[in-house]
Amino acid sequence: MDNSVKNVGKVVGAVIVIIVVLTVLFNSMYTIKEQEQAVVTTFGVPSTVSEPGLHVKIPFIQQVTKVNTTIKGFPIGYDEVTNLSKDDESLMITSDINFVNVDFYVEYKVTDPVKALYASREPVVILKNVAQSCIRSVVGQNEVDRVITTGKIEIQKEIKERITEMLETQDIGISLVNITIQDAEPPTEDVIVAFKAVENAKQGKETAINNAKKYRNERIPYAEAQVDKIVKEATAKKEARINEATGQAARFNSLYEEYIKYPLITKQRMYYEAMEELLPDLKLIIDSSDGSVEKLLPIESLVDYPQTVTE
Q: How far apart are CA 253 and CA 210, in angstroms?
A: 64
Specify the higher pLDDT residue, 249 or 180.
Answer: 180
Q: For the chain, list the strands marked E by DSSP.
A: 29-32, 36-42, 45-50, 53-56, 62-68, 72-76, 91-93, 99-110, 174-185, 284-287, 295-298
Residues making up the chain, counted from first to last:
311
- d(CA 305, CA 259) in angstroms, rounded, equals 35
pLDDT band at 139 (very low <50, low <70, confident <90, very high): very high
Nearest-angstrom CA–CA distance, 269 and 264: 9
In the predicted model, is pLDDT for residue 261 greater than 50? yes
For residue range 198-251, what is the model confidence (pLDDT) as tens digits? 767 878 888 888 888 888 888 888 888 888 889 888 888 888 888 888 888 888
Between these two residues, 260 and 152, which has the higher pLDDT value?
A: 152
Give me the amino acid identity at 194: A
Residues 123, 116 contacting (CB under 8 angstroms): yes
Q: Is the pLDDT of residue 113 over 90?
A: yes
Three-point CA angle 84, 81, 187, nearest 5°? 15
Question: When comparing pLDDT for 101 and 202, which is higher?
Answer: 101
> How confident is the model at residue 140, as a pLDDT?
93
Q: Is the pLDDT of residue 180 over 50?
A: yes
Is the pLDDT reported for residue 30 higher than 90? no
pLDDT tens-digit profile of 70-92? 999 999 999 988 988 888 899 89
Predicted confidence (pLDDT) at residue 293 exceeds the cutoff of 50: no
Average pLDDT of the chain is 81
- Which pLDDT score, from 0 to 100, does residue 55 have? 79
* Number of Cβ within a 10 Å radius of residue 181: 20
Across 43-47, 104-108, 185-189, least confident range: 185-189
Q: Is residue 309 scored above 50 in pLDDT?
A: no
Residue 294 has pLDDT above 60, yes or no: no
Position 186 scores a pLDDT of 81
Instruction: Assign residue 173 a region (left: φ > 0; alpha: ψ between -120 and 50; beta: otherwise).
Output: left
Residue 92 bridge partners (DSSP) = 100
Q: Does 45 have pLDDT greater than 70?
A: yes
Res 308 pLDDT > 50 = no
Second CATH level (architecture) for the domain 72-187: 2-Layer Sandwich (3.30)
Half-sphere exposure of residue 170: CA atoms within 13 angstroms, side-chain side:
27
Lowest model confidence (mean pLDDT) among 84-88, 153-157, 176-180: 84-88
**Once rounded to an integer, what is the mean pLDDT over residues 178-196?**
78
pLDDT band at 12 (very low <50, low <70, confident <90, very high): low
Q: Where are the domains of the chain?
A: 2-67, 72-187, 281-311
Quote the pLDDT of residue 245: 86
pLDDT of residue 214: 87
pLDDT at 145: 85
- Residue % of the chain over a pLDDT of 70: 77
Mean pLDDT of 253-274: 77
Three-state secondary structure string covering 141-175: CCCHHHHHHHCHHHHHHHHHHHHHHHHHHHCCCEE
- pLDDT score for 194: 67
- From first CA to last CA, the distance across the chain in angstroms is 188
- CA 68 – CA 116 distance, rounded (Å): 11
